[in-house]
Chains A and B, each alone.
Chain A
Amino acid sequence: MFEALLFYTFSVLAVFAGAMVITRRNAASSAIALVASFFCLASMYAMLGAHFVAVIQILVYAGAIMVLFIFVIMVLNLREDNDPGWNLSPRAVLGAGVGGLVGLTVFVGASAARSATFMPADKLDPGFGTIEQIGYTLFSGRYLLPFEVVSALLTVAVVGAVVLAKKEL
C-alpha cells in the first residue's frame, strides 16, 4: 500500500516534470525540471529493487550529464528572445494529434498486457540489483560482448565529435 502510494506519487511527478521540460521558455528551467524527472525515475528503479541502477541514474544522469547541459546552456547564453514561441500551424496540430494517438495506444496496450514474466518481488534472487550481480552479468555472463562493444561505440562518438568540432585538424 505504502509502496503503491510512493509509486504513484513519483510517477505523477515524473510526468509533470517531463511536461515542464518541454514547456518552459527558459532553457535553464527546463534543465532543472529534467533533473527532477531523473530523480523520480531513480526512485522508481530503487522500488524495483535495482539499487545500483538507481544510484547510477542520480550520479551519471542527474549529476554529470546535467552539469554538461547547464554548461552548454551557459556557454550558448540562450535568452528568451531566441524562443520562437507557440506555433499552432496545422502541421504542429497534426503532429501533436498523431503523437497523442501513439501515446494513447502505448498506454492502453501496455496496461492491458499480460506478460509471461511478471514477477512478484519476493521471488527475486536475494542478490538482485546488487553491484556484485551486475558485475557478473556484465563481465562473465551474457553481456560481455555488448559491454565491450559499447566502449567501441564511445570511441567512435569521441572521434566523430573531435573530427566535426575541432577547428584545425
Chain B
Amino acid sequence: MSPLTPPPVLVPEGLSQDLAAFAPAFVIFGAALIILLWEAVVRPADKRVFMGFSLTAILVALGLNVGVAVEDRLGFSGMVSFDAYSVFFNSVFLISAALSTLLSHDYLERVGVRIGEYYSLVLFGLFGMMLLGMGADLMLLFVGIEVMSIAFYCLSAIKRTDARGIESGFKYFIMGAFASGILLYGVSFVYGATGTTSLQGIRAAIEGGVHGGMLGLGVAFIIAGFLFKIAAVPFHMWAPDVYEGAPASVTGYMATGVKAASFAAFGRVLFVAFLGLKDDWAAPLMVIAAVTMLLGNLVALVQDDLKRMLAYSSIAHAGYMLMALVAVDAESVGLNGQVSGLLFYLLAYTFMNLGAFAVLTLMAGDRDDLTSIKGLAGLSTRNPAVAAGLALCLFSLAGIPPTMGFVGKFYLFAAAVRADYVGLAVIAALSGAIGVYYYLRPIVVMFMQEGGEPLSIRPTAASVGALAIASAAILYFGLFPSQLIELCQAGVLSLVG
C-alpha cells in the first residue's frame, strides 16, 4: 500500500471569509455556552438576566446577519451557502427566537420553570435552525436538523413535573427520531445513486442522467422526513399533542421557528437538488398540501382550547405553504414570483402566530384548563389593548385585509393559479373560508360576551411588548408589503441563480 500524499492546502481556502459570514451563528452558539457557565453563579432571583442576555445576543446576531453584506458564495468547502435566501431565513429564525424569548421569563416563572438552561436550549435550537437556513449539503442539513430537534425535544418537556409536558417531549422525541432515521435513509440512497451529498452535485448528477429506483426512493424518504418536520398530513399526528403539552412559549417558538427552518431546508433541497425531478414529486405534494389544509382547518373548527386550535391551524398553514413548493416552475422561469410567497408567508406566520401565543402565555398558568376559548370572555373590557392585539393576530391568521396574513395568502393563492394549479387554489380558498369561522370565534367571545369567571390575565411589559411588535409588523407589512416582497424575491433568485 503506497503512502498517501497529504493534500497540499491544510487551511481551506477562504476560511476567514467563511468564518466572517458564519458570525451570526457563532454569536448564538457562544451565547448559549456562556449562559450554561453563567447559570452556575447566578442567584435564583436574578435569572431574569438570562432573558436580557439572550435577547442581546439575538439582536447582535440579527444585526450581523442583516448588516454585514456578504456576496453570494458557497463556504466551508461547499457545505453552506451564504446568499439572500439564507440571510432572509436567518432573520426569520432570529425574529422568532427574539419574540418567544420576550414571552418566556414571566410565563416560566409562573409555571415554575426557573432554570437558565432554558435559554441555552432556545439558542441551541436557533443555532440548528440557522444551519438549516444555510446548509447546502445533505450532511450538514441532517446534523442541523438534529441539533434543532434535540433542543426542542428537551424544551417541550422542560416542565418536568407536568405529565403532559413529559408526554409531549417523549412523543416528539420518539416520532422525531423515527422521522430523522427515514430522512437519513433517504440521504444514503441519494448518495448511493449520485455519489454526492452536495445539493448542487446532486442536481448536476440528475441533469447528467442519473435516474431510477434508488434515487426515487431516496427522494421519497427525504421528502417524507421533511413533511414530518413541518407536520403535514399524514405525518402530523404528533403535532397537536406536542404543541398542547409543551409550555406555551416553547409552542409558539416551535410552530414558527422549527416550521420556518424545515421549510427553508425543504425548499432548498427541492429547488436546488431535485428540481429536475419536479414532475415526480409535484403531484404527491399537491395532494398532501390539499389534504393538509383541509384536515387542519376542519379539525381546528371543533377545538375549544385556544392552544389546541392554534396547533391544528398550524397544520393548516403548513398546507398553504406547501402550495408554494408545488407551484415552482421546473423551467425556473418565473420561479421567483411564485415561490417567494413562501418566504413572505413564513415571516407573516411568525409574527401573527407569536402574537397569538403572547396572549396565550398571559392566559396559561399552572392550571391546564386556562387556555380555553371561553376564558377569553370579556377580555375587551378588562384589557382592551391585549384584546385588540389578539384580534389583529387572529384576523391576520384568517387572512383578512389589511393584514400581513392577507398579503401572504394572496401571493400563495396567486402563485398556485399562475402555475395552473387552479384546483389546489380553490381547495385552499375553501379551507381558508373554514378558517375564518374558527379564528373569528375567539374574537366574538372576547368582544361580545361578558366574562363569567374573571381570568387572571396579568399583562407584563415583555409579553405586551412582543404583542405590540408583532401587531405593528402585521399592520405595517400588510399595508406596505412591496419592500419585503422584493427581499423575498431576491432570496429565491439567489437560490436558483
Contact = CB atoms under 8 A, between A and B. Distances in A.
B131 A140 contact: no
A164 to B, nearest CB: 6
A118 B284 CA distance: 30
A23 interface: no
14 contacts: A105-B217, A109-B216, A113-B192, A114-B212, A116-B194, A116-B195, A127-B2, A130-B1, A132-B4, A144-B12, A144-B79, A156-B151, A157-B150, A169-B117
Contacts of B189: 110
Q: Chain A interface secondary structure, helix, strand, loop or mixed?
A: helix
Given A115-B193, A160-B121, A163-B154, A142 B77 contact: yes
Contacts of A152: 29, 124, 127, 147
B: contact size bracket: 35 or more
Contacts of B36: 159
A94 B10 CA distance: 54
B139 A113 contact: no
Contact of A140 (B7, B80, B144, B216): B7
Given A114-B212, A136-B7, A157-B150, 7 more contacts: A105-B217, A116-B209, A145-B79, A156-B150, A160-B154, A163-B158, A169-B117
A116 B140 contact: no
Contacts of B452: none
Interface of B: 1-4, 6-7, 9-12, 29, 33, 36, 76-80, 115, 117, 120-121, 124, 127-128, 131, 137, 139-140, 143-144, 146-147, 150-151, 153-154, 157-158, 160, 169, 189, 192-195, 205, 208-210, 212-217
A164 B121 CA distance: 12
Contacts of A106: 217
A69 to B, nearest CB: 16
Contacts of B6: 136
B150 A153 contact: yes
B305 to A, nearest CB: 25
Of the listed residues B2, B144, B214, the one surrounded by the most CB atoms of chain A closer than 10 A to its CB is B214
Contact of A146 (B127, B139, B195): B139
A132 B169 CA distance: 41
Contacts of A90: none
A149 interface: yes
A1 interface: no
B213 A149 contact: no
A115 B194 CA distance: 7
A116 B151 CA distance: 38
A126 B3 CA distance: 8
A113 B215 CA distance: 8
A146 to B, nearest CB: 5
A82 interface: no
Contacts of B139: 143, 146
A149 B117 contact: no
A113 B212 contact: yes
A4 interface: no
A41 B140 CA distance: 25
Given A156-B147, A159-B121, A164 B213 contact: no
A161 B80 CA distance: 29
Interface in A109-133: 109-110, 112-117, 126-127, 130, 132-133
B7 A109 contact: no
A117 B121 contact: no
Interface in A74-93: none
A145 B144 CA distance: 11
A110 B127 contact: no
Contacts of B2: 126-127
A161 to B, nearest CB: 8
A164 B155 CA distance: 9
A127 B143 contact: no
Contacts of B160: 164
Contacts of A5: none
B117 A159 contact: yes
The interface centre, meaning the residue of A149, A157, A163 with most chain B CB atoms within 10 A of its CB, is A149
Contacts of A133: 4
Nearest to B128: A156
A49 to B, nearest CB: 12
B79 A163 contact: no
B154 A136 contact: no
A8 to B, nearest CB: 20
Given A112-B213, A126-B2, A132-B4, A164 B29 contact: no
Contacts of B124: 152, 155-156, 159
